[in-house]
Amino acid sequence: EIVRKLFAGTAEFFWGTGSLGGLPPMHGLEIAFAGRSNVGKSSLVNALTRRKALARTSSTPGRTQELNFFRIGEGQESAFTLVDMPGYGYAAVGKDKVAAWTDLIYAYLRGRANLARVYVLIDARHGLKDNDLKVLDSLDKAAVSYQIVLTKADALKPGPLADRIRTIEESIIRRPAAYPSVIATSSRTGEGTVELQSAIVQLLHE
């Protein structure tokens, strides 16, 4: 009931920034979503908050180079801030832009005491790629708690999906900041979205 009410409540964009100086003041808990460009992040964020276009789904990967902040469930006990991180690993973005992205993200991760967890989205069809591993390395280094969320689970049959989950869980078991279990989601079928919402609410109450 808390879960349903929280995510049915208001979800409002209140801050976007492409530079560290422009971060909003820390207020309440933040939950961030990260992932490679085109992983399905916008679609999942919209499915979670049941908004059609909270996070703009973009057909141009790598275009959103901003950290976007949304207040979820304002006025409710479990209100929190959802942080949509810019997608990474898009080759056509220039080297300078990649460096700027990396600087922004790492500085944000290190300095954000109210950041409760980063959900790292991984395309179920592709698994962990080199740039995902680099992001996990930096999260471990910054001691920021994170959990892997598979997207596009509908694209795999149950057997291969279970294999994918097991392989990833085995590969993250020794990572110090990783939450050990993986959540499989699909914004197309809705699979896993309630599980992810519940995980967020549980986290907010810890």
Nearer to ligand GDP, 140 or 191 (CB): 191
CA-closest candidate to residue 167, choices 151, 154, 152, 148: 148
User: Cβ 189 to ligand GDP, closest distance in Å?
Assistant: 7
User: Cβ 19 to ligand GDP, closest distance in Å?
Assistant: 21
Nearer to ligand GDP, 73 or 87 (CB): 87
Nearer to ligand GDP, 58 or 138 (CB): 58
User: Cβ 62 to ligand GDP, closest distance in Å?
Assistant: 8
User: Cβ 179 to ligand GDP, closest distance in Å?
Assistant: 21
For residues 148 and 176, is the Cβ–Cβ distance under 8 A?
Answer: no
- Residues at the contact surface with ligand GDP, assessed by CB under 6 A: 35, 37-43, 57-58, 61, 87, 151-152, 154-155, 186-188
Q: If you count them, how many residues does the chain have?
A: 206
Nearer to ligand GDP, 105 or 204 (CB): 105
Alpha carbon distance 67, 70 (integer Å): 10
Q: Walk across the sheet containing 183-184 and list its strands.
A: 11-17, 67-72, 80-84, 30-35, 115-123, 146-151, 183-184
The pair phi, psi for residue 67, each rounded to 5°, is -85, 125
User: Cβ 205 to ligand GDP, closest distance in Å?
Assistant: 28
CA-closest candidate to residue 43, choices 202, 197, 193, 182: 193
Nearer to ligand GDP, 87 or 204 (CB): 87
Name 70's bridge partners.
13, 82
